[in-house]
C-alpha cells in the first residue's frame, strides 16, 4: 500500500501550537537539538572523561568489533 508524504511547513506547526497552547512543545520538536554543556562544566567544575572525538572513535571501534564477532 503506497504511503503519502505531505510536507507541512514549520509555520503550520507553530500556528497550531499557539492555538492549542502547546507552543513550548512545538519549539522543542522543531528547535535545535544541539546540547551545550558549558554551563554544567562551569557550575560544577566538571570535565567530560573524554572528548567528543574520543567518544566517537571508541563507539566506532566497539561497533566494528561487535560486527566482526557476529560473523
Question: H/E element holding 15?
Answer: helix 10-19
Dihedral angle sign, alpha carbons of residues 39, 40, 45, 46: negative
The pLDDT score that the predictor gives to residue 19 is 97
Dihedral angle sign, alpha carbons of residues 17, 18, 19, 24: positive
Confidence of residue 70 (pLDDT cuts 50, 70, 90): confident
Domain layout of the chain by residue ranges:
1-34, 35-71
Residue 55 pLDDT > 90: yes
Residue 57 pLDDT > 80: yes
The pLDDT score that the predictor gives to residue 69 is 82
pTM of the model: 0.46
DSSP state of 50: S
Amino acid at each position: 500500500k503506497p504511503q503519502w508524504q505531505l510536507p507541512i511547513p514549520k509555520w503550520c506547526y507553530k500556528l497550531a501550537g499557539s492555538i492549542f497552547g502547546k507552543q513550548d512543545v512545538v519549539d522543542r520538536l522543531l528547535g535545535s537539538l544541539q546540547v551545550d554543556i558549558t554551563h554544567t562544566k562551569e557550575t560544577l567544575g566538571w570535565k567530560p572523561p573524554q572528548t567528543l572525538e574520543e567518544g566517537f572513535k571508541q563507539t566506532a571501534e566497539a561497533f566494528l568489533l561487535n560486527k566482526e564477532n557476529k560473523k
